[in-house]
Amino acid sequence: EDQVTQSPEALRLQEGESSSLNCSYTVSGLRGLFWYRQDPGKGPEFLFTLYSAGEEKEKERLKATLTKKESFLHITAPKPEDSATYLCAVLSGSSNTGKLIFGQGTTLQVKP
Amino acid sequence: DTEVTQTPKHLVMGMTNKKSLKCEQHMGHRAMYWYKQKAKKPPELMFVYSYEKLSINESVPSRFSPECPNSSLLNLHLHALQPEDSALYLCASSQFKGGSANEKLFFGSGTQLSVL
């Protein structure tokens, strides 16, 4: 069974304190791993897609990496505006209609 | 235009009411989705439309009735809902690429539904 697990559930950082969020997955043939950011009461906002182990993508203070079993979202020198829930999702090889399997999310709070 | 627009933003309805949620996109995407999200939980897929045809129904109760009138519009008709149906309802869209739905979903801001 395809499964996605994110850790930690919640993370509190001081502004400028770098850290990483983890997304572990088991799927039958990974077609893609996705990171989304979601602010309270809003829809998820696309951040990154990773397709193969060793791939890395960066956007401002965020960097996503992928191995055969997990992905990390590294946050460098975070700011309060980075506070949000970060969702990881995977698309397995058995899906051809865009059905993503989401993890439970990591809620990040960055204090000034 | 990279937006998915959902209306209304908030909806309060009684268990005997009939209401509809609306979603619109003008990105030329031919796959459109309805997701349901409860507080502090990830989105759960409800329905997928591919080229205006229903391709996935995740065993959703019949009190939820989707409709795709054209390639830009997606509706969700609600009837006789239960209080436990209160949630954030999200619409999303994506392209088709290589014969299958592109995985990059564009989400709307959602409709926060409360059923009394």
**B4 contacts B108 by C-beta, under 8 angstroms:** yes
| DSSP states along B25-91 | E-S---EEEEEEE-TTS--EEEEEEETTEEEEE-S--TTEEEEEEETTEEEEEEES--GGG-EEEEE
B107 and A43 within 8 Å at the Cβ level: the answer is: yes
Interface test with B, best of A30, A86, A99, A108 (most B CBs within 10 A): A99
Among B102, B103, B110, beta carbon nearest to A42: B110
The yes-or-no verdict on residue B74 having pLDDT over 70 is: yes
d(CA B33, CA B106): 10
**How far is the alpha carbon of A6 from chain B, nearest alpha carbon, in Å?**
11
pLDDT digits (tens, 9 = 90+) for B14-67: 988 999 999 999 999 999 999 999 999 999 999 999 899 998 899 999 999 999
Q: Is A78 on the interface with B (CB under 8 A)?
A: no
d(CA A63, CA A17): 15
Residue whose token pair is 């609600």: B78
Determine the pLDDT at residue B1: 63
Nearest to residue A88, comparing CAs of A10, A6, A7? A6
| Contacts A96 to B, Cβ<8 Å | 99-101
Amino acid identity of B58? E
B101 and A97 within 8 Å at the Cβ level: the answer is: yes
Please give the average per-residue pLDDT across A85-101, as a whole number: 80
Going B59 to A29 to A57 to B93, the CA torsion angle's sign is negative
Identify the helix (H) or strand (E) that includes residue A86.
strand A84-92
Among B31, B99, B112, beta carbon nearest to A41: B112
A42 and B102 within 8 Å at the Cβ level: the answer is: no
Determine the pLDDT at residue A2: 84
Q: Is A18 helix (H, G, I), strand (E, B) or coil?
A: coil
